[in-house]
Amino acid sequence: MNRGVTRLALTAILVCAANTAQAQTVRPYNSTMGTLSDAHRGSFSSIEGRYTIALPKGIGGFSEGTFQWRLPEGYFTVGYMDSDEDLEISRDVMARALRQAEAAILDFNRWLLVMPVPTPQLSHKSLKFDGHPAVELRAQMPDGLAIARSIVFKKRIYSLAVMLVSDQQKNAVRAIEVFDSFRITPNEEADAIMKKRIADATPASLPQE
């Protein structure tokens, strides 16, 4: 287990488990919101979040700035957290990114699983995303795998996460490909799209008579 993972997060995960051998059971839901293949017909884009990612346009849920997709291939989330300071120049930038990744995995335990389970095997690695610092955390569970990737971009930390339960674990490589498709939208492009949306939603002027 990687010693860089905080003991507090480890304790929080382990204490919540009733049985260390318990398999994952996902909370019931009505239906999946498409598949990963649907992203080929148009990827998801968030103007407010200023990013795009190869996930279906139709989302399965939204909570506190985080979008959710319950797909047959896995359970994905994408969100972000803003700060008043430039996080990239912070001395503890990687520690902050790791904490954000840990939080994403803990959220899966809280809201996705019927009963939280322990994650006895945790590992992380540092990455670079277009020159920006990033970290990827993996949590191997008794019958599942959770992966979270945090990207630090100026005053914002983006969090991408996926939970693969039971036979969904075969989709781990494909899930990483989804993470790799993540792109931050340049400010000028995002502003142009926002202006167009406003213009399209604005009614035409009435005849001046």
List, for residues 66-105, the tens digit of each pLDDT value. 999 999 999 999 999 999 999 999 999 999 999 999 999 9
Going by C-beta distance under 8 Å and a sequence separation of 6 or more, which residues neighbour residue 163?
74, 75, 108, 112, 144, 145, 146
- Compute the Cα dihedral for 93, 95, 96, 100 and give only its sign: positive
Q: Per-residue pLDDT averaged across 160-189, rounded?
A: 91
For residue range 29-68, what is the model confidence (pLDDT) as tens digits?
Answer: 666 668 898 887 778 989 889 999 999 988 888 887 899 9
* Strand spans (E) along 72-193: 74-82, 121-129, 132-141, 144-153, 156-165, 183-184
User: Computed from CA positions of residues 184, 38, 139, 112, in that sequence, does the dihedral angle turn out positive or negative?
Assistant: positive
* Proportion of the chain above pLDDT 90, given as a percent: 50
pLDDT of residue 123: 93
Q: Are 165 and 144 in contact (CB under 8 A)?
A: yes
120, containing H or E segment: none
- Can you give the C-alpha Rg of the chain in angstroms? 19
Asked if residue 199 has pLDDT above 60, the reply is no
Look at the pTM and tell me if it is higher than 0.85. no
Contact 76, 132 (CB under 8 A): no
Question: Residue 124 pLDDT more than 80?
Answer: yes
Mean pLDDT score, 197-205? 60
